[in-house]
Amino acid sequence: MPEPKSRRHGAELEAAILDAAWAELVEVGYARLTMEGVAARAGTSKPVVYRRWPGRPELVLAAWRRRIPDADNPPDLGDLRSDLLAFLHRLVHRFHDTPRDVLAGLMSETFRDPEVFALLLKQIAAAKHRPTFETIVRRAVARGELPPVEITPRVARVPLDLVRAEAIFHHGGIDEKTITEIVDEVFLPLLRGLAHKEFDGEE
């Protein structure tokens, strides 16, 4: 068992615990993950873990969110379609890196426990992808690919919700064709329709 690293505090300690939780998930799976095992791997105590996360679902959700692509560094490949495809590829890569039983375990917990379900909804709502899509679309507007368009939270969630649905209902398997369809058949037409609607409204 690792020796406790008592000098770690705040963000450093929290990051160590979340990294340990992810390593445990990869090694033993969701069903066998314990707070004791995470604490031991992180070199801390179980009460320290419980002070931050009251249970396994909360800890796993936090560890999962830590692996979401950086919203402060959106792709910039020179055109709207390429940027959207690149960002969705980042998201899908995270889903493919997720142990297969994690999503199933979390969904099972949410059905049994309304508080966990509420937490999952809160985590999804808090995902900081709206600024990423705003940046990608703003660049496209500046290049003349689109008229100005507002990216509301609901609009920003559309491609993310489709990726999540594919990951959950198809056991994490999301191929190139699916990503391309989400961009070409859903999100780009949505953006263009909203942009034309706003543009027409200004005339």
Q: Give the mean pLDDT of the chain.
A: 81
Tokens read off for 22: 């992810």
Dist CA 60 CA 25 (whole Å): 8
Between 103 and 20, the higher pLDDT residue? 20
Reply yes or no on whether the pLDDT at 30 is more than 50: yes
Dist CA 168 CA 66 (whole Å): 19
Reply yes or no on whether the pLDDT at 201 is more than 70: no
Reply yes or no on whether the pLDDT at 70 is more than 60: no
In this prediction, residues 150-156 reach a mean pLDDT of 87
Cα separation values, 46 from 35, 77, 136, Å: 6, 45, 42
End-to-end CA distance of the chain: 69
Dist CA 14 CA 62 (whole Å): 10
In this prediction, residues 40-62 reach a mean pLDDT of 91
Reply yes or no on whether the pLDDT at 8 is more than 80: no
pLDDT the model gives residue 71: 55
Provide the residue type at 64 as one letter: W
